Amino acid sequence: MSSAPRFDRGHTDDLMSFLAAAPSPYHAVAAAAERLEKAGFRQVLETDAWEGTTGGKYVLRGGAIIAWYVPEGAAPHTPFRIVGAHTDSPNLRVKPQPDMGAHGWRQIAVEIYGGPLLNSWLDRDLGLAGRLSLRDGTTRLVNIDRPLLRVPQLAIHMDRSIHEKGLQLDKQRHMQPIWGLGDVSDERGLISFLEQELGLAAGEVTGWDLMTHALEAPAHLGRDRELVAGPRMDNLLSVHSATAALAAASASPELGYIPVLAAFDHEENGSQADTGADGPLLGNVLERSVFARGGTYEDKARAFAGTVCLSSDTGHAVHPNYAERHDPTHHPRVNGGPILKVNVNQRYATDGSGRAVFAAACEKAHVPWQTFVSNNAMPCGTTIGPITAARHGIRTVDIGVAILSMHSARELCGAEDPYLLANALTAFLEG
């Protein structure tokens, strides 16, 4: 049975708004939760006892969100259909002692997060966003969305050999942004500045998780506006599509599964965190959902055995200037539909049975799809897919949208692919 497509170009426009509203993982999960609330989902706290009621629920923990919808009549052993993604992107993150400087310049000490293309962060106007922890134990989101920081590049006159030897950046010496002039020893430090911006008393901020973001807004690109340029597509594109798909699936009158969104933090540095895919968060939420509906360990085992997860993360479109770096028989193109990621060494979790599940969802949604395989001479990246499969014993399939400039401060995708992905994910979640 096929289903009519749910999403069109309006979904891509909404993605652009989502990217702009989510300069950090904490903002991303807040934006996802806001969309789910409009679809009738309600937050449940991990510290509360859970009831086995039907409907949409979600859990927030730091930069991660797990959301699910329990349809009427769902048995405790009802399997789950999960879309997994991640909320973090490579960037520059503020160190515990942020204030530094030299030669009359005030600078912010940053640490490199994940594997960014460092050159893409040079000579850009940067904002600052993230989470502040306050003395009373609460947290506050902060987003300084105006030109505040800049990592200045060395003038060509002082390194004329750059065209011969290439740009060489030392992560410690060359990536510390400037944000003003003056003596670093005075009282006008970064945290004092943020307290003033948020109207907080001096000394109220006792902890922070802060990161830079490029300020240029997402935009359509190309002769026919067939492309979209923007930040953090890896992997907020998947988070946004999965959120929309879950909201749409929750309105389906006949759900054979319990649809789930699992958006984790810290994928870019290995997923080993309490909010990462290698932590217990997803397993705990799914297990508690089974038990809250009166299930037993046997019911949980049955539910997990029938569960399938689509690990959705951006992948590589064939690059016109570097086509030789791609596999010669697999050339994913933008606007060609979502890609199925395959790697026999389990850097991706896809196998033949998983391929069949994904193909069925795309066929149901009338969505074209492609396959990505790495060139044998190139090391392959990985995702939350193998981690999810191994940690929870859940059949997992790696998919995504093909983009260019992955891990740049500004990435590029096709304008049709986000809504094609959302339609495929909706069909998958509906079962």
Report pLDDT for 4.
61
CA–CA separation, 71 vs 62, rounded Å?
Answer: 27
Residue 253: the pLDDT is 86
Beta strands, E only, 308-405: 308-312, 315-316, 339-341, 370-372, 395-400, 402-403
| 175 touches 153 (CB < 8 A) | no
Q: What is this structure's pTM? A: 0.96
Q: CA angle, 90 as apex, 348 and 227 as ends, to 5°? A: 80
Considering only CA atoms, which of 193, 90, 70, 81 is closest in space to residue 142?
193
Task: Summarize pLDDT for 127-161 with one digit per residue, the tens.
Answer: 999 999 999 999 999 999 999 999 999 999 998 88
| Count of other CB atoms within 10 angstroms of residue 164 | 6
Rounded to whole angstroms, the Cα distance separating 132 from 204 reads 10
* pLDDT for 223: 96
415-426 pLDDT, tens digit per residue, is 999 999 999 999
Alpha carbons within 13 A on the beta-carbon side of 11: 25
Identify the pLDDT of residue 290: 98
Residue whose tokens read 């990161």 = 211
Among the listed residues 209, 208, 230, 232, the one whose alpha carbon sits nearest the alpha carbon of residue 90: 232
Q: What is the pLDDT of residue 164?
A: 86
Q: What is the pLDDT of residue 149?
A: 98
293-344 pLDDT, tens digit per residue, is 999 999 999 999 999 999 999 999 999 999 999 999 999 999 999 999 999 9
| Contacts of 398 by beta carbon, 8 Å cutoff, 6+ apart | 311, 313, 340, 341, 342, 348, 349, 350, 383, 385
pLDDT at 408: 98
Residues in the chain, pLDDT under 70: 1-4
